[in-house]
């Protein structure tokens, strides 16, 4: 019986595969144009992640009751496991870096023909390290959240004045923020990847909170950042890749929520401010930021 479809030869199948890998007629590489591949790579690498991981069936949310240990035990367990890679014993191959400048390395001077990596230990997270407070503030209704930016090879975390103008808090602090740009750039900070928090109550009354919270006397929602000011030091940049820096650990920022209003759902956005990092991409709502809902019951 004759086959309805003629079977392709091995050479024909190879030719089809080659055209899939590179199609000279459409200029597509594996089904995508080079521009689309570039957009995918940029979106993939410039995401921000949150610990504890709050991706679930109901979306990104943290709900727990301070009187029920079982409601937050899972979050505590996730944080402990995640921060175990930042124990001092796991950082023995890395250097103590104190300079607040980029750590450029043109040669492979570290052992095994590698590049050096700077230490980031959990002690740097202070009250959110899990060393003194082993439950990360959850029982007291002051939970710690850990923010990590995905690794980007050769990324330079430069300061962007225009980015700060865009992201400056829209409140009574707005004028202070704009007027003190020069002070922030040359005085207080010598490193410029910033994490700040926005919050919105479920009743749609909106407030924006940032590293300038201490200037607001009437704020009912406050945050503390570790390291101070919610920054990544420049000596963690650039990152040269896994083969060149196999012991590299991502710098972290811990956010401790203070004076939280119980029994209300709060929508929180953790946003990264830095060169080339966008957080308003309509095609990828999670680029450059992480959003989640938080409710603490008592």
Looking from the CA of 38 toward its CB, the CA atoms found within 13 Å total 3
Domain of 260, in residue numbers = 43-158+192-203+220-296
Residue 210 domain-assigned (yes or no): no
Does residue 138 register a pLDDT over 90?
yes
Residue 265 domain-assigned (yes or no): yes
Question: What pLDDT does 33 receive?
Answer: 56
Neighbour-count burial for 108-138, b at 16+ CB within 10 Å, e otherwise: eebeeebbbbbbbbbebbbbbbbeebebbbb
**Burial of 272 by CB count in 10 Å (0-12 exposed, 13-18 middle, 19+ buried)?**
buried
Using DSSP, state whether 90 is helix, strand or coil. Answer: helix
Residue 59 domain-assigned (yes or no): yes
Residue 178 domain-assigned (yes or no): no
Does residue 5 register a pLDDT over 70?
no
The better pLDDT of the pair 184, 6 is held by: 6
The tens digit of pLDDT for each residue in 224-278 reads 888 877 778 888 989 999 999 999 999 988 888 887 778 888 777 777 766 666 7
The tens digit of pLDDT for each residue in 88-129 reads 999 989 999 988 788 999 999 999 999 999 999 999 999 999
Question: What pLDDT does 224 receive?
Answer: 84
CA dist 258 and 79 (Å) reads: 18
The tens digit of pLDDT for each residue in 188-219 reads 222 334 444 444 444 433 333 333 333 333 34
Please tell me what DSSP assigns to residue 242: T
pTM of the model: 0.65
Alpha-carbon distances, residue 190 vs 117, 157, 177 (angstroms)? 20, 12, 17
Residue 215 domain-assigned (yes or no): no
Residue 264 domain-assigned (yes or no): yes
The better pLDDT of the pair 27, 138 is held by: 138
Alpha-carbon distances, residue 162 vs 203, 273, 274 (angstroms)? 32, 10, 10
Query: Looking at the 3D structure of the chain, how many domains does it have?
Result: 1
End-to-end CA distance of the chain: 75
Residue 171 domain-assigned (yes or no): no
Looking from the CA of 157 toward its CB, the CA atoms found within 13 Å total 28
Residue 57 domain-assigned (yes or no): yes
Q: Which CATH number does the domain housing residue 283 bear? A: 2.60.40.1660
Mean pLDDT of the chain: 70
Alpha-carbon distances, residue 125 vs 100, 104, 188, 228, 265 (angstroms)? 18, 25, 19, 9, 26
């Amino acid at each position: 019986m004759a086959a309805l479809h003629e079977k392709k030869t091995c050479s024909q199948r190879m030719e089809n595969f080659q055209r899939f890998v590179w199609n000279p007629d459409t200029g597509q590489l594996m089904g995508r144009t080079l521009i689309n591949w570039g957009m995918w790579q940029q979106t993939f690498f410039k995401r921000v992640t949150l610990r504890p991981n709050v991706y679930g069936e109901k979306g990104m949310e943290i709900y727990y009751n301070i009187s029920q240990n079982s409601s937050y035990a899972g979050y505590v367990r996730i944080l402990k496991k995640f921060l175990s890679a930042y124990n001092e014993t796991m950082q023995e191959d890395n250097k103590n870096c104190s300079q607040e400048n980029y750590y450029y390395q043109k040669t492979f001077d570290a052992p095994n023909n590698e590049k050096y990596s700077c230490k980031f230990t959990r002690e740097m997270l202070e009250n959110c390290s899990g060393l003194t407070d082993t439950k990360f503030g959850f029982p007291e209704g002051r939970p710690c959240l850990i923010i990590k930016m995905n690794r980007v090879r050769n990324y330079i975390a430069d300061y962007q004045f225009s980015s700060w103008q865009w992201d400056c808090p829209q409140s009574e602090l707005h004028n202070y923020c704009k007027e003190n740009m020069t002070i922030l750039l040359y005085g207080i900070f010598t490193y410029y990847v910033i994490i700040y928090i926005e919050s919105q109550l479920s009743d749609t009354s909106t407030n924006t909170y940032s590293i300038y919270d201490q200037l607001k006397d009437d704020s009912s929602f406050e945050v503390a950042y570790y390291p101070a000011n919610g920054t990544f030091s420049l000596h963690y940049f650039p990152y040269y890749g896994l083969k060149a820096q196999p012991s590299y650990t991502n710098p972290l920022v811990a956010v401790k929520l203070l004076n939280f209003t119980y029994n209300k759902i709060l929508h929180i956005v953790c946003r990264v401010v830095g060169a080339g990092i966008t957080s308003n991409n309509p095609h990828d709502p999670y680029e450059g930021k992480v959003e989640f809902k938080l409710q603490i019951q008592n």
